[in-house]
């Protein structure tokens, strides 16, 4: 993992001595009306709606599944500082259908949000929260009645839904003194012959093929493509678009939906660059472009 000294080098030296690419006006990021099924999709359908960043509403096997709920204006412990949301959430909290399962990847502020956890737990008290090791107490203190923490490769069954906690290459920490005290992960879901993979937040690692072997084949892979520059620092933490396409190939999935881009300005690449590079990488890999499904904020994809 990058050291504190490396982080200071990036923030205080690299950013002040090297020009950064120009960001577009936030208005270029479309926000469309969602079209998820209410209150639930049919068991035969898969729908995925991009709320923004790594927050998605996934309808699978008749269940409503929410990933990394984050509705706050800033990815920060403060309301007055920290990365500000560029695009309003594609789905308002009050518009969510009843949530059956919440999947949490790790505890960084752009993925685990105090106010959002409280709001979802209050609106859907019946939801089961699956979290990596060390985070069960966090969500329970904020109202989650049903919560379970899991280690890599542990499995859980929620009704007919089979869930596997999968490896990821990242780190955790909400303060300077708690780095690595809780786990980070991805999630593989299977129900009625349909399979979905949510990578969470991760750098590129050699386990994607093993995840496919143990948990695939996947109909849908939700993969992060943003927050990757400068590479000398971020390559340990976040995949770039080319690595995300490589991970997609390793997973052997049918459809890729890019996430973790276009919502918060976290690193040094232009905000609109990740999907441009991802599309180019898809073409370079000779993959059918219709298998790459880039969503606008709020857009619903029916697989």
CB-based contacts of 283: which residues, under 8 Å, 6+ apart?
289
pLDDT at 20: 81
Q: Which of 247, 254, 256 is nearest to 279 (CA)?
A: 256
pLDDT at 18: 76
CB-based contacts of 130: which residues, under 8 Å, 6+ apart?
101, 102, 103, 104, 147, 148, 150, 156, 163, 165, 187
d(CA 103, CA 258): 17
pLDDT at 127: 98
pLDDT at 158: 97
Taking the chain (303 residues) in runs of 10, the rounded mean pLDDT of each run is: 73 74 92 97 96 98 98 95 96 98 98 98 98 98 98 98 98 91 98 97 97 98 97 94 98 98 97 97 96 98 95
CB-based contacts of 2: which residues, under 8 Å, 6+ apart?
233, 236, 237
Please answer whether residues 143 and 117 qualify as being in contact, where contact means their C-beta atoms are separated by less than 8 angstroms. yes
d(CA 84, CA 86): 6
Please answer whether residues 86 and 52 qualify as being in contact, where contact means their C-beta atoms are separated by less than 8 angstroms. no
Q: Which of 58, 39, 42 is nearest to 97 (CA)?
A: 39
d(CA 274, CA 7): 22
The CATH H-level superfamily of 34-302 is Ribonuclease Z/Hydroxyacylglutathione hydrolase-like (3.60.15.10)
DSSP 3-state of 179: coil
pLDDT at 13: 67
DSSP 3-state of 245: helix
Classify residue 256 as left (phi > 0), alpha (psi -120 to 50) or beta.
beta
Domain residue ranges in the chain: 34-302
Please answer whether residues 157 and 191 qualify as being in contact, where contact means their C-beta atoms are separated by less than 8 angstroms. no
d(CA 198, CA 30): 23
Parallel/antiparallel/unpaired status of strands 46-52 and 220-224? unpaired
């Amino acid at each position: 993992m990058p050291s504190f000294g490396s982080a200071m080098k990036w923030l205080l030296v690299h950013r002040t001595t090297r020009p950064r690419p120009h960001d577009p006006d936030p208005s270029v990021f479309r926000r469309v009306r969602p079209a998820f099924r209410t209150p639930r999709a049919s068991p035969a359908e898969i729908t995925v709606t991009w709320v923004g960043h790594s927050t998605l509403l996934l309808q699978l096997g008749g269940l409503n599944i929410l990933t990394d709920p984050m509705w706050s204006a800033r990815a920060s412990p403060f309301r007055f500082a920290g990365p500000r949301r560029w695009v309003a959430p594609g789905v308002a909290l009050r518009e969510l259908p009843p949530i059956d399962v919440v999947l949490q990847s790790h505890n960084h502020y752009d993925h685990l949000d105090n106010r959002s956890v409280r709001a979802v737990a209050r609106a859907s008290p019946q939801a089961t929260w699956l979290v990596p090791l060390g985070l069960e107490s966090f969500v329970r203190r904020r109202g989650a009645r049903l919560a379970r923490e899991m280690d890599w490769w542990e499995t859980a069954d929620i009704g007919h839904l089979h869930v596997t906690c999968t490896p990821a290459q990242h780190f955790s920490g909400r303060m300077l003194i708690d780095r690595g005290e809780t786990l980070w992960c991805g999630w593989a879901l299977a129900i009625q012959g349909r399979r979905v993979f949510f990578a969470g937040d991760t750098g590129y690692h050699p386990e994607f093929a093993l995840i496919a072997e143990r948990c695939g084949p996947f109909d849908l892979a939700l993969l992060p493509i943003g927050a990757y520059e400068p590479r000398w620092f971020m390559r340990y933490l976040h995949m770039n678009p080319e690595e995300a396409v490589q991970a997609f190939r390793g997973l052997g999935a049918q459809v890729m939906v890019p996430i973790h881009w276009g919502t918060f300005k976290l690193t040094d690449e232009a905000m609109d660059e990740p999907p441009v590079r991802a599309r180019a990488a898809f073409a370079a890999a000779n993959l059918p472009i219709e298998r790459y499904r880039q969503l606008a904020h709020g857009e619903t994809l029916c697989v």
